[in-house]
Structure 1
Amino acid sequence: MADFLQNAIQSMSLEDEEPLTLPDSPRFRVIDENETSLLGRLLNPDCQSMARMIDYMPTAWRVVGRVRGIALSRDRFQFVFQREEDLQTVLKDRPWSYNHWAMTHERWTLNPPPMIFFSP
Structure 2
Amino acid sequence: MKTTTSTHIILFCKICKGNLSSIAELSSKVMDMKKTIDDRLIAMEKVVSTRQLSPLQEEEIIQESVDRTLRIGNILLANVPEVKDVLDEKVANDILELIEPAAVESLENVSYR
Higher relative contact order (CA 8 A, sep 6+): 1
Higher Cα radius of gyration = 2
The TM-score normalised by the length of structure 1 is 0.27
- Greater share of residues in helix: 2
- Greater share of residues in strand: 1
The TM-score normalised by the length of structure 2 is 0.28
